[in-house]
Amino acid sequence: MSVPSPDVARAPVALTGSFDAILRGIGCAVAVASYQSSLVAVLSVTSEGPVLLLRSFDKPMGLAATEGRLAVAARNEIVILADAPDLARTHGAAPGTHEHLWLPRSVLYSGEIDLHDPVFAGGRLIGAATRFSCIAGFDDSASLTPIWSPPFISQLVPEDRCHLNGLAVDAAGAPRLATALGTTDVEEGWRAARASGGALISIPDGQVLRADLSMPHSPRLVKDHLLVLTPGPERCCVSTRPPGRARCWRACRATPAALPFAAISCSSACPACATGAARARRRFPSSRAGSG
């Protein structure tokens, strides 16, 4: 069973640009899962500077957060942690240092499905079961329950046929968009053209809106806009809604690892982002948000 390591591990960290000011301004911490290093990292800022805490998990692939709960998608299971703020205040060698303490409370056994983009939606946990090429739900009744799969996938078998790797839900928690690295229906067939054959697919109708993206991932619906990250020259693509029409695409200079901030850090040449960039510059005068 994959559970967080009991040891408190801090790593040296330095923040550049306006990132420190942004974190302080919105009053949050950032959690990042790294399957290469088998770590979940939590970055926060205090009066004494930034703090980076590390916890070990077995191949953490993704994170999902909701009020009072955090899910870590690991190699074979999903670890559900609950916030215990009362215990946090007395935790550690210096009581009063921490505001939140996340403790493991349950584990859902999924098997090795390479779960991407888990999200708490409509009262349950869902995500992209990449090895099975489908969007699935997770609870204690089964390892996974398929909800939707692209129409070009003929069988739900553990062959990673299209590398379905991203899921966007609407404000009500309903799945609306998915990303994949190909539209192939054979085992790992997506690898041959992943640099230029990535797809954006609407849910539930299965319409392929784009099939020429470079390894797209992490789609998000933010108010009236769709954001999709790619590692290529476009990096962050912005499209106006409705999701059924992939139009008004713009390339933005956003940092792929910081999707929540993409709307304020991308190029001001993109009309979809100009308002957010201007707002960020007013709030954080030292920021270069929107100056790309």
For residue 204, whether the previous peptide bond is cis, meaning omega lies within 30 degrees of 0, is yes
Assess whether pLDDT exceeds 80 at residue 125.
yes
Instruction: State the pLDDT at residue 252.
Output: 59
Instruction: State the pLDDT at residue 233.
Output: 57
Assess whether pLDDT exceeds 50 at residue 258.
no
Instruction: State the pLDDT at residue 238.
Output: 64
Q: Among 59-63, 174-178, 223-227, 281-285, where is mean pLDDT lowest? A: 281-285
Instruction: Let me know if 97 is exposed, middle or buried by CB neighbors in 10 A (0-12, 13-18, 19+).
Output: middle
Assess whether pLDDT exceeds 60 at residue 279.
no
Percent of the chain with pLDDT over 70: 76
Instruction: State the pLDDT at residue 242.
Output: 52
Task: Give the separation between CA 261 and CA 233, rounded to whole angstroms.
Answer: 18
SS3 189: helix
For residue 151, whether the previous peptide bond is cis, meaning omega lies within 30 degrees of 0, is no
Most confident range (mean pLDDT) of 17-31, 196-210, 213-227, 240-254 is: 196-210
Task: Answer yes or no: are the C-beta atoms of 114 and 62 closer than 8 Å.
Answer: no
> pLDDT of 157-200, one tens digit each?
999 999 999 999 998 999 999 999 999 999 999 999 988 999 99
Task: Answer yes or no: are the C-beta atoms of 202 and 180 closer than 8 Å.
Answer: no
Query: What predicted TM-score, i.e. pTM, was given to this entire model?
Result: 0.80
